[in-house]
Structure 1
């Protein structure tokens, strides 16, 4: 159980550090690429739900109800990139490793079964030879 707790702790720490990397990629690469079609920052994309949105000098909304869909889009892109990297760099290689390990284990078990059968046959032959040397009746195997 201690090993699982340590593995989980390591995963949390690496996940937190990885989040910073993904956020940097989204802010430094993805947002400017998307910004090539509009503003340079996804967080600035918004719509106004009620009346035209007016802001004061401090940037606070005075009238209207803003919907900040650019922030949501940025978070979704961050999630998709994180999920893709985790899948392709961690999940897929681990699945391939476990499949290869299972095939190896199945082959090893099959070899052991063949060896057990052949050992059993050899023992039967030895028994039959000993019985024949003594001159007794033949084996009574079903």
Structure 2
């Protein structure tokens, strides 16, 4: 069982997945900063300073000055603004990942093209063809 586990961990796909998860976790901080520090101010500029993260509805029917005040009071709330920001964050992450994959694919294609251009044309090796070898085998079998 330990050997199977060792074989499983040593597979390239598992290592690639682990690296992807670690990089994704680190990338989350960058995306969160992009959303909070760049995208949200732009959205606020176009919506007249509306901050989505402050949108909430208190389920107990009371009025609260802010989402923080409602949660501090222990009121059950629908944090609509946080949900909207999570959706916006998702689309930003999806777009950034799309652009990243597109750039990587473009770089791979360019590298493959460059590699192919740098290699000499493939030549067939000198020697008997497959048909010649089969004919020799047939003739040898006839002799026996």
Normalised TM-score (structure 1): 0.56
What value does the CA root-mean-square deviation take over the aligned residues? 4.1
Pick the aligned partner of 1:6 from 15, 23, 42: 15
Counterpart for residue 93 of structure 1: 103
CA contact (8 A) 2:44 2:51 kept: yes
1:93 positional shift: 2.5
Pick the aligned partner of 2:93 from 68, 78, 82: 82
> Compared with structure 1, are the counterparts of its residues 104 and 116 closer, same or farther at alpha carbon in structure 2 (3 Å cutoff)?
farther
1:33 positional shift: 2.2
Cα deviation digits, residues 2-38 of structure 1 (max 9, x gap): 3332222221111001101111111112222222324
Structure with greater Cα Rg: 1
SS in 2 for 1:116: coil
CA contact (8 A) 2:52 2:81 kept: yes
Gap runs ≥5 in structure 2: 1-9, 130-144
Higher RCO (CA < 8 A, seq sep 6+) = 2
Counterpart for residue 44 of structure 1: 54
Pick the aligned partner of 1:23 from 5, 23, 32: 32
1:70 positional shift: 1.4
